[in-house]
Amino acid sequence: MSTQPLDEPQAALDLQAMRAHAGEAVAMLKLLGNEDRLLLLCQLSQQERTVGELEQLTGVSQPTLSQQLGIFRREGLVITRREGKFIWYQLADKRALQLMQAVHQLFCQQGEIA
């Protein structure tokens, strides 16, 4: 984690807007605050997946996977569709997609971050 001060000025933050939406922001960040959920959202940000695909790609066990996907459904982060015996999960919240893109850019891309 970088401990260097930022050299460039930051855009002014609208404190009133942040105060009005802080609860929503905290709720979304709490959803990202679990490694299993973060891995699942990473996969779902790429494309629609089945439970079996998510289990194979993330290594998250099926019971844990079902629990975390239930949280996503309850919070409106994913939508599902049934195709035969498979249930497909798709990311439904554009804010979650934008956050996952930012997380990927900040933590997963090769090279040093200045």
> Which pair of tokens denotes residue 15?
């404190």
35-49: per-residue pLDDT in tens? 999 999 999 999 999
Burial letters 35-51, b for 16+ CB under 10 A, else e: eebbbbbbbbbeeebeb
Domain positions in the chain are 21-108
Map 49-94 to HEC letters. Answer: EEHHHHHHHHCCCHHHHHHHHHHHHHHCCEEEEEECCEEEEEECCH
- Position 81 pLDDT exceeds 80: yes
pTM attached to this predicted model: 0.81
Fold of 21-108: Arc Repressor Mutant, subunit A (1.10.10)
- Position 9 pLDDT exceeds 70: no
Amino acid present at 98:
Q
In the chain, pLDDT over 70 holds for what percent of residues?
86
